[in-house]
Amino acid sequence: MDTIIKVQDLNFSFGSGELKNQVLKDVNLQIKMGEIVILTGPSGSGKTTLLTIIGALRAAGEGSVQVLGQELIGFGEEIYNQTRLNIGYIFQNHNLLESLSALENVCMSLELREGYNMERRKCLGTEILSAVGLGDRLHYKPAKLSGGQKQRVSIARALVANPKLILADEPTASLDKVNGQEAVHILQRLAREQGATILLVTHDYRILNMADRIIELDDGGMR
């Protein structure tokens, strides 16, 4: 298997001088294509910061972060934008637009990609929403959906463009046990079918068995 994420000697701090707070300390990490990896650790250990750096959502200046064969550190917004197009993101609070339907929320993630006209976007959006069990909720806005259904829309949005990498930050935190496990099982199944790699941050011990590998981050360093 090819290495899809390779992090070497990564350090990251917020602030400077007396206010400097080092969040990541000499982090080294490799993830192979097709793996499902869970990143866990106590609150404040730097998990989300690491995830956002790998996802090209935050810039770091020390070390090396290679994602999908592209070095991120030292490069500008153009490279970051290109990298993001190959990543699907799932967030704790869904981040759905309340004024749009489930289908419209999913189709939005295809608008910046070439080769997807409106008809194609709607077709793919309908297919992936049906795959997560929401084929009968295509035109429902978020206010009419349960928490578990909202997270399934978020999963559909992350997967609709068939990304090579999926990054998930506490995707079950706002869900009860049944809905949380259902959401991650859907994510696991569809990612396997698409051959995608998953890096998932969680405190939820109930979903640890979905992972091929569990990595712990403690006080900014790998354990």
pLDDT tens digits for 75-100?
A: 888 999 999 999 999 988 888 999 99
Q: What is the mean pLDDT of the chain?
A: 91
Q: Is 34 helix (H, G, I), strand (E, B) or coil?
A: coil
Rounded-to-integer distance, Cα 102 and Cα 130, Å: 11
**Which of 25-29, 90-94, 183-187 bottoms out in mean pLDDT, i.e. has the lowest?**
90-94
Say what the pLDDT of residue 44 is.
84
CATH topology of domain 3-86+163-222: Rossmann fold (3.40.50)
Q: Is the pLDDT of residue 182 over 80?
A: yes
Q: Which of 206, 204, 212, 210 is closest to 187 using CA atoms?
A: 210
| pLDDT at site 95 | 87
Alpha-carbon distances of 80 from 11, 59, 68, 194, 221, rounded to whole Å? 19, 9, 12, 23, 24
- Which of the four pLDDT bands, split at 50, 70 and 90, describes residue 201? very high
Write out pLDDT tens, residues 108-151: 989 878 788 889 999 999 999 999 999 999 999 999 999 999 99
Torsion of CA 22, 75, 67, 12, to 10 degrees: 0
The domain limits of the chain are 3-86+163-222, 93-147
Kindly state the percentage of the chain with pLDDT values over 90: 70
CA proximity to 150, closest of 119, 113, 183, 110: 183
Q: Which of 79, 80, 67, 45 is nearest to 221 (CA)?
A: 45
pLDDT at 76: 84
**What was the pLDDT predicted at 180?**
87
**For residue 61, pLDDT beyond 90:** no
Where residue 1 falls among pLDDT bands split at 50, 70, 90?
low
